[in-house]
Structure 1
Amino acid sequence: MQPRSLGPQRIPGARRFAGPPTSFLVMTVAVIQVVGTLFSASHQDAPRPLDGLAILLLLAGPAGLAFRRRAPQVMLPVALTATGAYLALGYAWGPIVLSLALGIVLTAAAGLRWQAWTGAGIAAAAVITAATLTGDENWPLRASAGVAWAAILVLIGQGFRRRSERIAEFRRRSEEARKAERDEYRLTLARDIHDVVAHSLSMINVQASVALHVGADDPNKLRPALEAIKAASKESLTEVRQLLGVLREDVPLAPAARPSLARLPELIQNAELGGLKVTLQDLSNAESVGPAQQEAAYRIIQEALTNVGRHSGARSAVVRVIQTAGALTVAIDDDGAGMGGALPGNGLTGMRERAAALGGTLTLHELKPGLRVEATLPTEPEGNLP
């Protein structure tokens, strides 16, 4: 699989709405309450004219809203006290209840549900009491409207709270998804670098040993070994440059050929240059196998042959590629020393991860002599090939 470039991604709608700035909210409510009440008082015969205390009470409610971030539990008591004192002293009616209404909404939005319902209940009780004391025949209607509005304000605040929680949960899940994608990208890149570098350097090392061994006795055998080293180093450089081009998007590089089943003969030939006799039995139809499965099969065979050449001391190996209904099976048998109790390394881990990424499995079977590496990769219907 060729690595994808992962740049910064913006998630639509992920920005959490925090409402207007607190200073703007406080100043706006203060202006509305003071100016609106002054205008309203000029058209009323209030028992008590507006004075300094009235202006102070009109400003106290908005001032309490300034604590919406630092101490939201302060907002509602301040607004409730200021509003109640203003109305109890008999000042002219006006938009004094604006700060109280916002105090209820913002308290519920801050998660202080019981405090919001308590404040709304006190306000509703005050409305009912005032309506009954006036002797108005429509006092039940006024009282019901006051109670309904108090409950609505709390519910609005709780709606804002739930929306904020949903956005926070969406952001958390989006960040987890981006982290998982980055981790998978790094893992894929690490596997590709390991497969390319380990395979090429292993073959270069083998050929260099051959060149040193035969060069002194038979100079004619030196040339094939050097040509194999040159071919392996060229292929390795090409693939490493491609991987580096993924990391540096500003480097224009022509993409290298993607590993596939069609390139298996070339892979076998390179392995034989290291002195290993390899037999290929390919019973697959590459046209009906997805590119992801083909690349995984190629990389697994490549890593298995690299391990055979480096660790097992085998003289021969057999590579089988068998396609059945719904699965592609690759098996690599060698006549070497097997695992010999050694712990799995990065190469075997990478092979297992490649198989697991496609929903497949990779198993090891001890032979006498040798070892079998077998991977089963589920294939998809042709219409769903990646």
Structure 2
Amino acid sequence: MQPRSPEPTRYPGPPHIGGARRFAGPPTSFIVITVALIQMVGTLFSASHQNAPRPLDALAILLLLAGPVGLAFRKRSPQMMLPVALAATGSYLALGYAWGPIVLSLALAIVMTAAAGLRWQAWAGAGLAAAAVITGAALTWDEDWPLRASAGVAWAAILVLIGQGFRRRSERLAEYRRRREEAQKAERDEYRLTLARDIHDVVAHSLSMINVQASVALHVGADDPEKLRPALEAIKAASKESLTEVRQLLGVLREDVPLAPAARPSLARIPELAKNTELSGLRVTLEDYSTHQAVGPAQQEAAYRIIQEALTNVGRHSGARSAVVRVVQTAGALTVTIDDDGAGMAGALPGNGLTGMRERAVALGGTLTLHELEPGLRVEATLPIQHEGTRP
């Protein structure tokens, strides 16, 4: 299947890369202050209801604050969090101070170390914490110590797994953002390419006609003044139409002027296109043509632009005197052919015009081919018709 691109001239504006700001969790300062308050207030409260071997003193306060302070290395040096928390928590408990929420900073250090991608350091720290729990439970000589030791080991492992879960989620979000940015870049490139094609088609067609008519005016101006006025009128009409369309396209680039629906090229404007082209001296005949109301706007515009560019190339390069345009609708496609009696493939110079026609057809899932005639050349585009409820 062909990749779907935005409908021509329905310009949504260039996408902005990056999307919403990445959520990186609460600020580090908030985590440090919150954990410090919980450990201080919680321990002071629990100490008042315990008969601890050693009362709280300045060293205990220092150790209660050291663990949360270690979490401040979360962004700059995440490998420092776990050693600081292990040292502060271990020293506090080994010195026999009152039991409290001192382990909160250690638990968060294990989680955030694993979330930072320091997997083995997180498992090593959790292992040391689990070993300390087992040793402490065994020294109590309590018959339930195996249960408490098992619970401590399980919680240490769970903390690491939680941190790894955060890490994987962060990696998935980063991958999603990367793919989204690539897709938005592709949209932006397609948007710019569509504008470039439209500007090329408008300017090339109008300037080609103006150039021809200006040459006619210079040639007949002195010898046949009656032919001078039609040539100047053709120049005026072509320049006016070109300026109108270019202003609209530039307004879209500034994102301050919406493209008027009535100005969008359609099959209904092909007779006008043929009439304007004839002012340049090329005789254009429409065959098997109707407005084809059932055809979608994207296909209508692509067909119009292909015919416009093909006629421009015929007038500029092939030396043809006449061209025949056919627009035929079948059950599943719109077929556009432009025949001329010019130089054939020798006049089909490669360039932006031929590339733009082919890109317009391919963007809608269609094809564009060139066929040698005797004499002349046939440009044939097949555009799948977009039925209601479907997309190209």
User: Is the TM value for this pair above 0.5?
Assistant: yes
Measured in 1, the distance between the counterparts of 2:125 and 2:24 equals: 23
Q: Percent identity?
A: 85
Tell me whether 298-307 or 359-368 shows the greater mean CA deviation. 359-368
**Deviation for aligned residue 1:341:** 8.1
User: In terms of mean alpha carbon deviation, does 173-182 or 105-114 score higher?
Assistant: 173-182
Pairing 1:138–2:163 present: no
SS across alignment from 1:317:
strand
Match of 2:364 in 1: 358
Runs of at least 4 residues of structure 1 off by over 6 A?
none
Shift of 1:342: 7.0
Q: 1:212 corresponds to which residue?
A: 218
Quote how far apart the aligned CAs of 1:213 are: 1.3
Aligned twin of 1:127: 133
CA distance in 1, matches of 2:57, 2:126: 28
- Other-structure match for 1:311: 317
Deviations 1:279-326 (A, max 9, x none): 211355602211111110110010000011111111111212222221
Does structure 2 conserve the Cα–Cα contact (< 8 Å) formed by 1:22 and 1:68?
yes
CA distance in 1, matches of 2:160, 2:71: 16
The residue type equivalent to 1:180 in the other structure is A
Does residue 378 in structure 1 map to residue 345 in structure 2? no
What's the counterpart of residue 2 of structure 1? 9
Q: CA deviation at 1:7?
A: 6.0
The residue aligned with 2:340 is 334
Following the alignment from structure 2 to structure 1, what is the Cα–Cα distance between the partners of residues 268 and 111? 67
Alpha-carbon distance, 1:228 to partner: 1.2
Name the aligned partner's letter for residue 4 of structure 1: Y
The farther-off stretch of 278-287 and 54-63 is 278-287
Q: Does the 8 Å contact 1:3/1:188 carry over to 2? A: no
Instruction: Name the stretch that deviates more: 156-165 or 66-75.
Output: 156-165
Partner of 2:3: none
Show CA shifts across 1:215-243 (max 9, x none): 22211111211111111111112211221
* Shift of residue 380, structure 1, vs aligned partner: 2.3
Task: After superposing the two structures, state which structure 1 stretch, 246-255 or 375-384, moved more.
Answer: 246-255
The 1:4–1:366 alpha-carbon spacing in structure 2 relative to 1, beyond 3 Å, is same
Whether contact under 8 Å (2:288, 2:328) holds in the other structure is yes
Amino acid at match of 1:16: R
More deviation, 127-136/25-34: 25-34
Is the CA contact 1:204–1:232 (under 8 Å) kept in the aligned structure 2?
A: yes
- 1:40 corresponds to 2:46: yes
Please state whether the residue corresponding to 2:285 is helix, strand or coil: strand
1:297 pairs with 2:303: yes
State yes or no: 1:271 paired with 2:311.
no
Q: 1:336 to 1:211 in 2, by over 3 A?
A: same
Number of residue-to-residue matches in the alignment: 385
Q: Report the counterpart of residue 178 of structure 2 in structure 1.
A: 172
TM-score after normalising by structure 1:
0.93
Structure 2 partner of 1:257: 263
Match of 2:241 among 228, 232, 235: 235
Structure 1 residues 285 and 278, CA gap change in structure 2 (3 angstroms): closer
In 2: Cα distance, 1:271 partner to 1:184 partner: 29
Whole-Å Cα distance in 2 between the matches of residues 311 and 166 of structure 1? 54
Q: Which residue of 2 aligns with 1:87?
A: 93
Q: CA deviation at 1:211?
A: 1.4
Cα deviation, residue 64, structure 1: 1.3
Q: Whole-Å Cα distance in 2 between the matches of residues 183 and 15 of structure 1?
A: 23
Change (3 A) 1:283 1:337: same
Secondary structure of the 1:340 match is helix
How does the TM-score come out when normalised to structure 2?
A: 0.91
Distance in 1 between the 2:96 and 2:381 partners?
A: 87
Q: Which runs of 5+ in 1 are unaligned?
A: none
Farther-moved stretch of structure 1 (332-341 vs 133-142): 332-341
Q: Distance in 1 between matches of 2:363 and 2:260?
A: 27
Aligned residue among 89, 110, 122 for 1:116? 122
The CA deviation at 1:186 is: 0.9
Residues 216 and 302 from structure 1, CA distance in 2 versus in 1: closer, same or farther, beyond 3 angstroms? same
CA RMSD of aligned residues (A): 2.2
Per the alignment, in what secondary structure is the counterpart of residue 322 of structure 1?
strand
Structure 2 counterpart of 1:140, one-letter code = P
Identify the structure with bigger relative contact order (alpha carbons < 8 Å, sequence gap 6+). 2
Q: 339-348 or 221-230, which moves further after superposition?
A: 339-348
Letter in 2 for 1:36: G
- C-alpha separation in 2, matches of 1:166 and 1:7: 26
For structure 2, list consecutive stretches of 5 or more residues without a partner in the other structure. 1-7
Quote how far apart the aligned CAs of 1:254 are: 5.4
Residue 67 (str. 1) matches residue 73 (str. 2):
yes
Deviation at 1:59, TM superposition (A): 2.0
Please say which of residues 40-49 and 68-77 is displaced more in the overlay. 40-49
> For residues 11-33 of structure 1, what are the alpha-carbon distances to aligned partners after superposition, in whole Å with 9 as ceiling and x for unaligned?
88x43221222122222222322
- CA deviations 1:167-215 (Å, max 9, x no partner) are 2222222222222221111111111111111101100111111111122
Given the alignment, which residue of 28, 48, 56 partners 1:50? 56
Aligned-partner SS, 2:338: strand
Q: How far apart are residue 368 of structure 1 and its match?
A: 3.0
1:109 partner letter = A
Q: Distance in 2 between matches of 1:85 and 1:213?
A: 102
Paired position in structure 2 for 1:224:
230
Deviations 1:139-193 (A, max 9, x none): 1221222122112212221222222222222222222222222111111111111
Give distance in 2, aligned partners of 1:251 and 1:283: 33
Per-residue CA distance 1:31-56 (angstroms, 9 max, x = gap): 32233223322322222233333222
